[in-house]
């Protein structure tokens, strides 16, 4: 940080406005095409304010990604502590993650665009971590169901099938379709699957 | 087409080389950032050859998209004519589509990048058509199973759950994970689901 940027007094709300503006522009134009100038203009601040909070465009991108992963992680940690049958815990975890994704759809869209799209020069962020963590948690829930005699083996296949329905329901929220699968629909699909997984 | 381009003699293989080069560059750099100059250089031809075959960059993109959809469509039409139980026909259709996707992974990647990513100025191509056609076909197979007493209602939920597992298995091929769900794995997951869908 230069001595010029150190003198800036943080503006109230500027940090949040910058994050929102960057997220919108990364989604509309792509990471590479969105410029610092456009981001600060959309946020109604000057460039040094962005440099003060985030260092550069890479910094604001990484902050967005870390925030999203942080939300996912705290949700994941919470859902697993609920006491209920394995099937109910799986439904609860999937419903919570579905709701959180709907609330943060622009973040989900950016993650998908970076995951499936061209690299665009965006800094490296481990997006596989979402899948790995989801697999870890859902596999634990399915394994508990297998141990208690509620569900049949194989727990890895069961967990993969649950994740397929969960992620498919979330993906669908990014589509332009008029009638999208809602949370109740996802729960019905999961119950259909878990009927097949039941002992 | 100008009189200049009409004079070009088509070069053997140039059309295919252009399509391959464009597909690679669209995936590496994004549609917007990939230039006609880069595409013709990668294909080892001159610009007028691209103009002769495709008109412009939009034309080569639309040709790629139409080819992909054409492959999907002919596969879809074929799979459904097989005579077998509803469950076996569903497994056959999903396996065929999985194999075709694996063989044409760069095309699948481009479709995902355009679907989830920023518009990038790429010409409009109806990517929802894939989902709608898949839903139509799988729903028909599930409905036949319901009618014959092989599967339970509700056939729309059943079809959606099948598509979730199929698309999830295809998505996974685009991931950087070391151990990806293969076709046999997908079939196991579908059998797990169909156990829940069985009457």
| pLDDT tens per residue across span A122-142 | 999 999 999 999 999 999 999
As a whole number of angstroms, the distance between CA B193 and CA A191 comes to 10
Check residue A80 and give its pLDDT. Answer: 62
- CA of B8 to nearest chain A CA: how many angstroms apart? 34
On chain A, the residues whose CB falls within 8 A of the CB of B192 are 157-158, 161, 193, 196-197
Helices A155-173 and A105-116 pack at an angle, to 10 degrees, of 110
As a whole number of angstroms, the distance between CA B137 and CA A185 comes to 20
- Which of A109, A185, A192 is opposite residue B197, by nearest beta carbon? A192
Judged against a pLDDT cut of 50, whether residue A1 lies above it is answered with no
In which residue ranges of chain B is CATH 1.10.10.60 found? 1-55
Q: Which residue has the higher pLDDT, A50 or B8?
A: A50
What does the pLDDT average to over B49-57? 96
As a whole number of angstroms, the distance between CA B183 and CA B169 comes to 8
What are the beta bridge partners of residue B198?
Answer: B151
pLDDT band at B1, cuts 50/70/90? very low
CATH number of B62-197: 1.10.357.10
Interface residue B35 vs chain A (CB under 8 A): no
Interface residue A121 vs chain B (CB under 8 A): no
On chain A, the residues whose CB falls within 8 A of the CB of B112 are 116-117
Tens of pLDDT, residue by residue over A137-158, are 999 999 999 999 999 989 999 9
The reply to whether residue B195 touches residue A196, judged by beta carbons under 8 angstroms, is yes
CB under 8 A, 24+ apart: contacts of A28-37: A28/B118, A28/B119, A29/B118, A30/A113, A30/A117, A30/A120, A30/B30, A30/B32, A30/B117, A30/B118, A30/B120, A31/A61, A31/A114, A31/A120, A31/A121, A31/A122, A32/A120, A32/A121, A32/A122, A32/B30, A32/B33, A33/B32, A33/B118
The reply to whether residue A185 touches residue B116, judged by beta carbons under 8 angstroms, is no
Check residue A6 and give its pLDDT. Answer: 54
Report the Cα–Cα distance between both ends of chain B, in Å, rounded.
Answer: 60
As a whole number of angstroms, the distance between CA A34 and CA B103 comes to 34
- CA of B92 to nearest chain A CA: how many angstroms apart? 18
Q: Which residue has the higher pLDDT, B76 or B164?
A: B164
Q: SS3 for A92? A: helix
- CA of B143 to nearest chain A CA: how many angstroms apart? 16
Judged against a pLDDT cut of 70, whether residue A7 lies above it is answered with no
As a whole number of angstroms, the distance between CA A140 and CA A126 comes to 22
A1-55 CATH, one of 3.40.190.10, 1.20.1250.20, 3.40.50.970, 1.10.10.60? 1.10.10.60
Q: What is the mean pLDDT of chain A?
A: 92
Task: Give φ, ψ of A51 to 5 degrees.
Answer: -60, -35
Interface residue A163 vs chain B (CB under 8 A): yes
Measured in whole angstroms, the distance separating CA B16 from the mean position of its chain's CA atoms is 18
Taking CA atoms, A74 is separated from A86, A169, B10, B86, in Å, by 20, 21, 60, 42
Helices A86-103 and A57-79 pack at an angle, to 10 degrees, of 150
Judged against a pLDDT cut of 80, whether residue A184 lies above it is answered with yes
What does the pLDDT average to over B79-87? 76
Q: pTM to 2 decimals?
A: 0.92
Judged against a pLDDT cut of 80, whether residue B80 lies above it is answered with no
- CA-nearest residue to B24 within chain A is A118
Q: What is the mean pLDDT of chain B?
A: 92
pLDDT band at A165, cuts 50/70/90? very high
ipTM beyond cut 0.95: no
As a whole number of angstroms, the distance between CA B49 and CA B74 comes to 29
As a whole number of angstroms, the distance between CA B185 and CA A153 comes to 14
The reply to whether residue A33 touches residue B185, judged by beta carbons under 8 angstroms, is no
- Which of B119, B128, B161 is opposite residue A175, by nearest beta carbon? B128
Judged against a pLDDT cut of 80, whether residue A181 lies above it is answered with yes
Interface residue A167 vs chain B (CB under 8 A): yes
Check residue B77 and give its pLDDT. Answer: 81
Task: Give φ, ψ of B198 to 5 degrees.
Answer: -70, 150
Tens of pLDDT, residue by residue over B100-126, are 999 999 999 999 999 999 988 899 999
Judged against a pLDDT cut of 80, whether residue B133 lies above it is answered with yes
What does the pLDDT average to over A162-171? 97
On chain A, the residues whose CB falls within 8 A of the CB of B118 are 26-30, 33, 113
Q: Please give the torsion angle defined by the CA atoms of residues B46, B51, B56 and B57, in that order, rounded to the nearest 10 degrees.
A: -40
pLDDT band at A119, cuts 50/70/90? confident
Residue whose C-alpha is closest to residue A164's, from B46, B172, B103, B158: B172
- CA of B94 to nearest chain A CA: how many angstroms apart? 14
- Which of B112, B164, B194 is opposite residue A164, by nearest beta carbon? B164
In which residue ranges of chain B is CATH 1.10.357.10 found? 62-197
Tens of pLDDT, residue by residue over A16-50, are 999 999 999 999 999 999 999 999 999 999 999 99
The reply to whether residue B118 touches residue A158, judged by beta carbons under 8 angstroms, is no
What are the beta bridge partners of residue A151?
Answer: A198
As a whole number of angstroms, the distance between CA B95 and CA B89 comes to 10
Whole-number percent of chain B with pLDDT over 70: 93
Check residue A77 and give its pLDDT. Answer: 81
- CA-nearest residue to B25 within chain A is A118
Q: Which two tokens stand for residue B114?
A: 């355009």
- Which of A160, A168, A181 is opposite residue B181, by nearest beta carbon? A160
Check residue A82 and give its pLDDT. Answer: 62
């Amino acid at each position: 940080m230069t001595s010029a940027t150190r003198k800036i007094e943080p503006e109230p709300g500027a940090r949040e406005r910058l994050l929102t503006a960057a997220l919108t522009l990364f989604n509309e134009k792509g990471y590479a095409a969105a410029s610092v100038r456009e981001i600060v203009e959309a946020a109604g601040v000057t460039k040094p304010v962005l440099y003060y909070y985030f260092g550069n465009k890479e910094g604001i991108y990484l902050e967005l990604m870390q925030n999203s992963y942080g939300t996912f992680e705290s949700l994941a940690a919470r859902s697993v502590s609920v006491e209920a049958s394995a099937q109910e815990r799986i439904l609860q975890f999937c419903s919570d993650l579905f709701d959180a994704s709907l609330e943060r759809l622009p973040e989900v869209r950016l993650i998908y665009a970076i995951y499936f799209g061209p690299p665009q020069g965006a800094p490296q962020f481990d997006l596989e971590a979402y899948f790995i963590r989801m697999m870890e948690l859902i596999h634990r829930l399915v394994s508990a169901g297998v141990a208690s005699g509620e569900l049949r083996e194989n727990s890895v296949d069961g967990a993969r099938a649950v994740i397929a329905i969960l992620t498919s329901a979330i993906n669908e929220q990014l589509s332009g379709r008029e009638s999208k699968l809602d949370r109740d629909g996802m729960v019905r699909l999961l119950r259909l699957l878990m009927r097949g997984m039941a002992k």
